[in-house]
Every structure is written in structure tokens, then in C-alpha cells.
A and B are shown apart, each in its own frame.
Chain A
Amino acid sequence: MIGIGDQAPEFELPDTDGEPQALQTPAVVIFTCNHCPYALAWHDRLMELARDYADVHFYAINPNDAERYPRDSFEAMKERVRGDGGWPMPYVHDSTQEVAREYGARTTPDVFVVDSEGALRYRGAPDGDHQDDSLRADWLREALDQVLAGEEVARAETDPVGCSVKWRQ
């Protein structure tokens, strides 16, 4: 598990086209999934953010145990992205859950901002209310703007809110 200021773990995971996606910086790493209402409620805001910050690398990582939660299988991920006509970020599968463990992901969603030097600068929720679309992931936007401007992140940590990551038993 990493803390603010630590080097973010590197990874290379397959996206829904089967292409390997390796961490490039600056980045937003989002642990998310198909079956969680919190992840679904924040989904459009996060997609909009990725479109707005085209110079930042975004990764949606599904870490859930697909055996117990078939809706989070790699096939279901592919189907979802296809059904949406593509996403503005790769949706990658952490089948071993190693990346989620290294980051210390707790929920879906759980969001991490990594600066161009590879250091973790923000971790937590996209904004303060999954039910309020008008917030537009503003905690995450603030953190990104400060990172991209070379400033300290004023609110570097918030509590992630969502469904617990479904670890293998």
C-alpha cells in the first residue's frame, strides 16, 4: 500500500482489446468495476474528466474476483466497453489483484493521481457526493490542476467511497 509522495507501482495489464497497457505519467488510476452502484454513479463524471484532460493518462482498473462476481469478468468488461462505443481510457483487468494490493485500493471507485515523476499526489473519491452529477469529480479536478501546475495538492487525501474490492477468498 502506498502513501502520498510514494512512487506509484508500475503495472502492465491487458485492456479490453487485449493490448497491454503500462503506466505512463502523469496519470489518473481508477479502480472501478461493472457491478458496483457507486462506480456506476461516478462513471460518466470520470469519463468526462478523461476527455477534458487529454494530456493525462487515465486507466480504469477492474480488480474484482470475477469468479464470485461474474459481472466483473474480462468478457463482461469487453462487452460493456463495446456497448458504450468505446471509452476515453483503457479498461484493464487486474486478474491477479496484485496491482490493487500494491496501491492499497479499498473500494470501487478508488482514485489515485500520479505526477509526471511517478509520485502519488492524490488518493480518494472523485468528489463529495456520488449522487450529485453537478460536482463533476471536482476533488479530482482540483488535484489534477494543482499537479499539472507544479503546485502542492491542497486536499491530497479523501476517503474513498464505494463497494469494497472483492478479494479472492
Chain B
Amino acid sequence: MTVELLWWEGCPSHPEALAELERILREEGVDAVVTRVEIEDDDQARRERFPGSPTIRINGEDIAPAEGEPFSLTCRIYRTRDGRVSPTPDPEDVRAAVRRAA
């Protein structure tokens, strides 16, 4: 399983996203190293199809596909399962994506 965390320094949410991702991988017994990819400019954001920070991809698939979002240096807006706005994905959505890929 390949696991990537794409991030941009303008959003402070990536350390929390990484910690949650690694915790969930451990809990699910998945032995995968998270590859961290820093996105540094708009050109790279377009090349990497980066809809905002943080973006988690498992086997190349975004765990929460951002349909229609422009690729740019921005912070992603996630919704938790109880409907709240969050800078990081709902941990249960991350877990579900890990299980699908396992």
C-alpha cells in the first residue's frame, strides 16, 4: 500500500493529519510508510493535482475526492461525520479508506 500526505506550510493542520494517519495505520495493522510531499508553489500544486493541504492519498486515490476544486496552495475544508467544518479529514473516513485499500 502506498500512502502519501501532501501538505503546504501555509496550513498548520498537516502535523495533526499525519499523526492521525499514522495512528490509524498502526491500529489497522498496516505496515506502510507515509511519504510526505511538500507542495511549495502553484505550479507544483497543478502538477501534483493538489486541491489543498492536507491531502491524503492511498494507492494514488484521494481519501476524500475534492471534485471541481482548483489545484492551488490553499487549506482544504473537510466535513466531519457530524457535519462540522474541519481542517483535517474525519478519522473514520481515513480508517475507511485504509480498510478499502488493505
Contacts and interface: CB of A to CB of B under 8 A. Distances in A.
A161 interface: yes
Interface in A87-125: none
Contact of B85 (A40, A68, A161, A163): A40
Contacts, number: 40
Contacts of B11: 163-164
A164 B85 contact: no
Contacts of A164: 10-11
Interface stretch (B20-28, B30-38, B76-84, B94-102): B76-84
B12 A37 contact: no
- Chain A CB within 10 A, most for which of B13, B84, B87: B87
Interface in A20-76: 35-38, 40-41, 68-69
Given A68-B72, A69-B74, A37 B85 contact: yes
Nearest to A161: B12
Interface of B: 10-13, 42, 72-78, 84-87
Interface of A: 35-38, 40-41, 68-69, 130-131, 133, 161-164, 166
10 closest pairs, A vs B, by CB?
Answer: A37-B87, A164-B10, A40-B85, A37-B77, A163-B75, A41-B85, A37-B85, A36-B75, A37-B75, A163-B11
A1 to B, nearest CB: 19
Nearest to B11: A163
A37 to B, nearest CB: 4
Contact of A37 (B10, B42, B73, B86): B86
Contacts of B72: 68-69
A40 B77 contact: yes
